[in-house]
Amino acid sequence: AQSVTQLGSHVSVSEGALVLLRCNYSSSVPPYLFWYVQYPNQGLQLLLKYTSAATLVKGINGFEAEFKKSETSFHLTKPSAHMSDAAEYFCAVSRMDSSYKLIFGSGTRLLVRP
Amino acid sequence: KAGVTQTPRYLIKTRGQQVTLSCSPISGHRSVSWYQQTPGQGLQFLFEYFSETQRNKGNFPGRFSGRQFSNSRSEMNVSTLELGDSALYLCASHIEGDPLSRELFFGEGSRLTVL
Comparing CA positions, the residue from B12, B16, B14, B7 lying closest to residue B91 is B7
Q: Tell me the nearest-neighbour CA distance from B90 into chain A, angstroms.
A: 7
- Percent of chain B exceeding pLDDT 70 equals 97
Comparing CA positions, the residue from A33, A19, A40, A24 lying closest to residue A88 is A40
Comparing CA positions, the residue from B51, B33, B54 lying closest to residue B109 is B33
Residue contact A98–B4, C-beta within 8 A: no
Q: Which of A32, A41, A103 sits opposite B102 (nearest CB)?
A: A32
Cβ of residue A41 closer than 8 Å to a chain B Cβ? yes
DSSP A2: -
Q: CB within 8 A of B21, min separation 6: which ones? A: B6, B7, B8, B75, B76, B77, B89, B91, B110, B112
Strand partners, A107: none
**Is pLDDT at A82 greater than 80 in this prediction?**
yes
Residue A35 — pLDDT band, cuts 50, 70, 90? very high
H or E segment and range at residue A45: strand A44-50
Whether residue B107 contacts residue B90, with contact meaning beta carbons closer than 8 Å, is answered with yes
**Is pLDDT at A2 greater than 90 in this prediction?**
no
Cβ of residue A53 closer than 8 Å to a chain B Cβ? yes
Residue A41 — pLDDT band, cuts 50, 70, 90? confident
Residue contact A106–B100, C-beta within 8 A: no
List Cα–Cα distances, B61 to A97, B48, B65, B80, in angstroms: 25, 16, 9, 11
Residue contact B103–A45, C-beta within 8 A: no
Average pLDDT over residues A56-81: 95
pLDDT at B49: 94
Q: What is the pLDDT of residues B11-46, one digit of tens each?
A: 999 999 999 999 999 999 999 999 999 999 999 999
Whether residue B56 contacts residue A99, with contact meaning beta carbons closer than 8 Å, is answered with yes
Nearest Cα residue in chain B from A107: B42
Comparing CA positions, the residue from B109, B36, B47 lying closest to residue A43 is B109
H or E segment and range at residue A29: none
pLDDT at B1: 65
- Percent of chain B exceeding pLDDT 90 equals 86
Helix-strand-coil split of chain A, %, nearest 5: 5, 55, 40
Residue contact B106–A99, C-beta within 8 A: no
Comparing CA positions, the residue from B110, B86, B79 lying closest to residue B5 is B110
Residue contact B42–A99, C-beta within 8 A: no
**Is pLDDT at B100 greater than 80 in this prediction?**
no
Average pLDDT over residues B54-77: 96
B33 vs A contacts (CB less than 8 Å):
100-102
pLDDT at A91: 97
Average pLDDT over residues A1-9: 90
Nearest Cα residue in chain A from B42: A106
Q: Which of A45, A99, A106 sits opposite B55 (nearest CB)?
A: A99
Whether residue A51 contacts residue A114, with contact meaning beta carbons closer than 8 Å, is answered with no
Average pLDDT over residues B91-107: 84
Torsion of CA B59, B61, B67, B72, to 10 degrees: -30
B99 vs A contacts (CB less than 8 Å):
51, 96
Residue contact B55–A98, C-beta within 8 A: yes
